[in-house]
Structure 1
Amino acid sequence: MPTSRPPKAPAGVHYRVEPSDVLAHLFRITLTIARPAPGQEVSLPVWIPGSYLVREFSKNLQELRATQGRAAVRLTQLDKHRWQADCTAGAPLVLTYAVCAYDTSVRTAWLDASRGFFNGTSLCLRVHGQEALRHTLEIARTPATAEWSAATGLSALQVDRKGFGLYAAANYDELVDCPVEMGTFWVGRFTACGVPHRFVVAGAAPSFDGKRLLDDARKVCETAIRFWHGEGKPPFKNYLFLLNAVGDGYGGLEHRNSTALICGRRDLPRVGEARASEGYTTLLGLISHEYFHTWNVKRLRPAEFATYDYARENYTGLLWFFEGFTSYYDDLLLRRAGLIDDATYLRLITKTVNQVLQTPGRFVQTVAQASFDAWVKYYRQDENTPNATVSYYTKGSLVALCLDLALRSSGGAGGRASLDEALRMLWTRSRGGPVTEADLRAVLQDLAGRPFDAELDQWVHSTAELPLAELLQAHGVQLKAEAPQWAQRLGLRVSETHSVHIKTVLRGGLAEKAGMVPGDEWLGLEADGQGWRISKLDDVAFYAGTAATVTALVARDGRLLRLALELPGHGPQAAARKPQRSAAKTAKAAKATTTAAAPNTPDTVSLSVSDTAALQRWLG
């Protein structure tokens, strides 16, 4: 089958993308600049908005050449991602190049014989000085992709029945904010609040229940639209979900009228399965999260992101708001949509609380600092990450929880104050555009009738513990200390196969005190004169008995080590009896020693309903 001819009516900046060699994972791109500037400069972004890491996409670009008319044009590389063409004004400048697409994530590009996917930031060179012009993208069919379909959130100009052809974008920002999926995928459609939505699923097993996914996604979307606009319309005319089902994976990236998602194949709903699996509930939470981002970060966004700089890091201290608050609402909207019950919702909150409480880094770094440092810490995690930083996703969601509960207790807005109202007010005041933390503080004060500066200073800009117990109790939920698992009690994060492999040693824990380090293989222990082989952490309690100290037998760098390990208390019951500090005392202690080590036994908690009516007033 011959390669299709370029459709008519390309823009001043036009891209033709061909999946030219699927076995070599190569996309072939032709960029035509109708009116180049003398010495035209082009560059490939170093990062993609929504994923805060410099990823150096230019490392995958090869065979870059340029012509003007029939003459070759010399290209000079200026740095790692910029080139300058020795061209003149007038005649169109044509650049051709290939991009190797090996990344199966939602952030870059992938191509093989069964599927193609790309973000514009990975394939589309930016034409300096012409970013605001209309751009067109032609997705070309090749013999190897004759049976494929294509899907994107871009506006179609001249497209065949399978989605290949010419698309338009108002500018470069829109072009690179609409990913493209290609392959033999499943497609479903639904309407939410009068707006058409498409759902594309690649890699699903035959047991996949597409109807259930569409029904549940529609409920999520309608709940989100009504959250922001009541009976009004959302700020997009259509929406596209791109979901890639794989053997094992999870993740998503938000875009202006679409989202790219990855889930485990077994997490999809199955035909004949009445009860939602834990994996499917997690997938629904991911769908809810990325859809909520359509408002909160794609439009309502940090003032620092008013204009993206694709050449370097774009810093903001507000990811605790944009990612954390979205994380708070993703599961809450599932509850409001009727897709999970109260018990499931409380279990999800419990999981988040425990993730934060079991992170010693919360005593080292504020959640605002964690937001600013995302480029070098959150997205570059290593063995020490839990000791040095806190997640702006998890702690940010707990800040949102605390603000919501505090607002509901404030009596402001005639008893209607809530974080829901605060976000809607922020949307209206900013006209769905860039905001600052000062804007949030002003909205909270107007809504509650008093400033929330003290709360934000303590919860966001200090390492003080959050007053979860008091706020939850006032809304019908009791927070109780529970006996932690052995990993938490020892201060470890491990993987367990035929032995215990140590991934992280938590700061201030018993494992650190014993001298264990990440990468150690814990083979066994000696207690009361006997040696035992262990394959999981639970074996420690089984073989240690009542011993207060054992000798851990550890393999490190080809050597066998014997480490004296103190054991916590005399079993889990001792930890369960440990009195829980009040939130006020915990906050005071944390504030006094913001770099203090975590306690030897990180807190583990559970939530239970103490007042059903109060709970329903919150969740309803």
Structure 2
Amino acid sequence: MRKVFLLFTFSLITLSLTAQTTTNYKISFENAVHHEAEISVTYTNLEYKVLEVRMSRTSPGRYALHEFAKNVYGVKATDGKGKELEVTRPNPHQWNVSGHDGTVKFEYTLFANRGDGTYSQVDETHAHLNMPATFAWARDYEHRPIEITFDVREDLNWKVATQLKPLEGTTYYAPDLYYFLDSPVEIADFHERQEAIDGQLIKMALHTSATDEEVDEYFGKVMAIVNAQVNLFGELPEFDYGEYVFLNCFMPNASGDGMEHRNSTIVTNSKPIDRPLGNTSLGTVSHEFIHVWNVERIRPASLEPFNFEEANMSGELWFAEGFTSYYDDLILHRAGINTAEEYAEALDGGLNYVINRPGRQFFSPVEMSYQAPFVDAATSVDPQNKTNTFISYYTYGSVLGLGLDLSLRKMDGNKNLDDFMKLMWRAFGRTEVPYTNRDIHEMLAEYAGEDLADEFFEKYIFDSQLPDYESLLADFGITLTKANPGKAVLGTDIEIESGVGKLESNALIGSPIYKAGIESEDEITTIAGTSLSEVESVDDILSEYKPGDEIEIEFTRWAQAKTVKVRLVEDQKLQTELNDKISIEINSKRNDWLRE
């Protein structure tokens, strides 16, 4: 009787699933040479009211608005009998279809020519599809399952790679609109590799010019990264259809980018055809795969649910993106791709940016995270002062991750950031319970004690103070020192072209150039009596001076000549190096950290 009951229950569930009305998409690429795709969406069993069809304005993993509707044209709609229907535009992102008979076939042409993690690109090398940039969808029907057929160019040997569930041929399935829009697609004549881990497949579709031997070596490095990260978190997530796919497109017409999705990632690079594959974008591969845990499943509550119609703001990006960034290069070292020396020497890039930029006086890491809709591939035409007011939450969070990791490792009890990330995974990732900044605080207090957690959040997260990196790094055998002690500088970089100097950015707050009132519009002609037409760089002039010296700068502003006096300061640029003259104890602590 139990078997009969279970069979009856399963039959009811199956009947319920099959009874759901499906939205059907089709896309073809007859005019790929001119970057066009032809798309149709068929809706059935509709309510007898106006159908609101929209293009997204945002995309998973991006936080700014992108207005994808601008690339849609040739729109028409017909009913179940093929009768053309009235289509109106209530706003730039939407088409209203009225007078239908319960069925609507919505058709349009898409122009697509940017291959990255946000947009789509169609040409005779590939169809690189980010779904929100490609496919329209209808309000009130987001819950419906979706089937999509890709009419691939067989004459170009195209194949399909995606996290969508394969059905038959080139038809794929998504359980709802959210999963559909979170499932990018690469259609091309690409290289394919795969390897099983714990009963799940890690796959790579690599669209690039490379030999099989290069691709084999590259995939070996990808798998070394994957295994190092599985060791970091303790286990793989359970992928929805038992596999994860890297959608890698390294072509001259692509743009450098990386974008995480639930069971896949897009990684793009503008690699020239004749350049060896080598380690192309492996740092991005490392970053995006960490997102399998941190962001896709250990997910900020501020991003749930993701809004496809408005900008998405989160105060947790210092952790979601920043702590992920901390592990980018560290994982490359643990995977055997970078040396300890390379890792140590690369640390100074982030430290210089965070320590020496003035932005921390305006915003904390939480508030820097709030800036994402303005900076995350956002576009604007008006000048901004981000040079002085913004520090990327990627880099800021990465530097804070370094500080927290080393602080934990100085404690008793073998504490470290790896184990804290495992704790976050078990509490919020495996369970898929969204978290807040306060949740991170509480978990850190549980893991390392209230004193450390309170200090970390009060000083470094809700305020803009920084740990003592010189001391922390020294305890693990890495020196942090001034790169150019005694070097005199103006504090803001100047580029010389045709004998005229222009600031490379807005004058940095507090720099001698800033105090002198010189700005990016000004044209500098002489420094310390030397014409800029006589030198290749400002350093050629300042090498004769020392910090504290006063010099004159001549410049023009709107054809009016000006002269100011400027007092030089010491270069604050920092450098990090692996210290070989350390004790056995420190060497052991460093090895534990770098080779965890």
Matches of 2:118 and 2:510, distance apart in 1: 36
Report SS of the residue matched to 1:308: coil
- Alignment correspondent of 2:136: 125
Please say which of residues 492-501 and 429-438 is displaced more in the overlay.
492-501
Instruction: Report the alpha carbon displacement of residue 395 of structure 1 after superposing the two structures with TM.
Output: 0.9
Give RMSD over aligned pairs. Answer: 3.2
- Alignment correspondent of 1:53: 64
Aligned mate of 1:178, from 165, 176, 183? 183
Do the aligned partners of residues 78 and 434 (structure 1) sit closer, same or farther apart at CA in structure 2, a change above 3 Å counting? same
- Alignment correspondent of 2:29: 19
* Conserved? CA contact 2:251–2:273, under 8 Å: no
Matches of 2:85 and 2:355, distance apart in 1: 59
- 2:243 is equivalent to residue 238 of structure 1: yes
**Structure 1: runs of 5 or more not aligned:** 1-8, 160-164, 570-574, 576-600
Matches of 1:615 and 1:267, distance apart in 2: 40
* Conserved? CA contact 1:15–1:32, under 8 Å: yes
Instruction: Report the alpha carbon displacement of residue 324 of structure 1 after superposing the two structures with TM.
Output: 0.2
- Alignment correspondent of 1:35: 45
* Conserved? CA contact 1:212–1:269, under 8 Å: no
- 2:94 is equivalent to residue 82 of structure 1: yes
* Conserved? CA contact 1:300–1:432, under 8 Å: yes
**One-letter amino acid of the structure 2 residue matched with residue 454 of structure 1:** E
Instruction: Report the alpha carbon displacement of residue 327 of structure 1 after superposing the two structures with TM.
Output: 0.3
* Conserved? CA contact 1:103–1:110, under 8 Å: yes
Report SS of the residue matched to 2:441: helix
1:149-548 correspondence to structure 2 within 5 Å: 149-159=159-169, 165-204=170-209, 209-230=214-235, 237-247=242-252, 249-265=255-271, 270=276, 280=279, 283-377=281-375, 379-380=377-378, 384-411=385-412, 415-430=413-428, 431-451=431-451, 452-483=453-484, 489-493=489-493, 500-504=501-505, 505-520=507-522, 522=524, 524-525=525-526, 527-528=528-529, 532-541=533-542, 548=549
Matches of 1:473 and 1:285, distance apart in 2: 26
Do the aligned partners of residues 249 and 134 (structure 1) sit closer, same or farther apart at CA in structure 2, a change above 3 Å counting? closer
- 2:581 is equivalent to residue 606 of structure 1: no
**Structure 2: runs of 5 or more not aligned:** 1-18
Do the aligned partners of residues 547 and 295 (structure 1) sit closer, same or farther apart at CA in structure 2, a change above 3 Å counting? closer
What is the TM-score when the length of structure 2 is the normalising length? 0.86
Instruction: Report the alpha carbon displacement of residue 45 of structure 1 after superposing the two structures with TM.
Output: 0.9
Matches of 2:30 and 2:495, distance apart in 1: 41
* Conserved? CA contact 1:47–1:312, under 8 Å: yes
Aligned mate of 2:82, from 41, 50, 70? 70
Instruction: Report the alpha carbon displacement of residue 541 of structure 1 after superposing the two structures with TM.
Output: 2.5
Report SS of the residue matched to 1:72: coil
- 2:104 is equivalent to residue 93 of structure 1: yes
**One-letter amino acid of the structure 2 residue matched with residue 439 of structure 1:** D
- Alignment correspondent of 2:16: none
Instruction: Report the alpha carbon displacement of residue 47 of structure 1 after superposing the two structures with TM.
Output: 0.7
Do the aligned partners of residues 365 and 32 (structure 1) sit closer, same or farther apart at CA in structure 2, a change above 3 Å counting? same
What is the TM-score when the length of structure 1 is the normalising length? 0.83
Instruction: Report the alpha carbon displacement of residue 436 of structure 1 after superposing the two structures with TM.
Output: 1.2
* Conserved? CA contact 2:404–2:417, under 8 Å: yes
Matches of 2:314 and 2:532, distance apart in 1: 53
Instruction: Report the alpha carbon displacement of residue 421 of structure 1 after superposing the two structures with TM.
Output: 1.7
Matches of 1:230 and 1:179, distance apart in 2: 25
Question: Over residues 501-528 of structure 1, what are the superposed CA-to-partner deviations in whole Å (9 max), with x where a residue is unaligned?
Answer: 4321211212223333225555x52545
Do the aligned partners of residues 530 and 260 (structure 1) sit closer, same or farther apart at CA in structure 2, a change above 3 Å counting? closer
* Conserved? CA contact 2:208–2:249, under 8 Å: yes
- Alignment correspondent of 2:4: none
Give the paired residue count: 562
Matches of 2:131 and 2:316, distance apart in 1: 26
Matches of 1:482 and 1:351, distance apart in 2: 12
Please say which of residues 221-230 and 250-259 is displaced more in the overlay.
221-230
Report SS of the residue matched to 1:20: coil
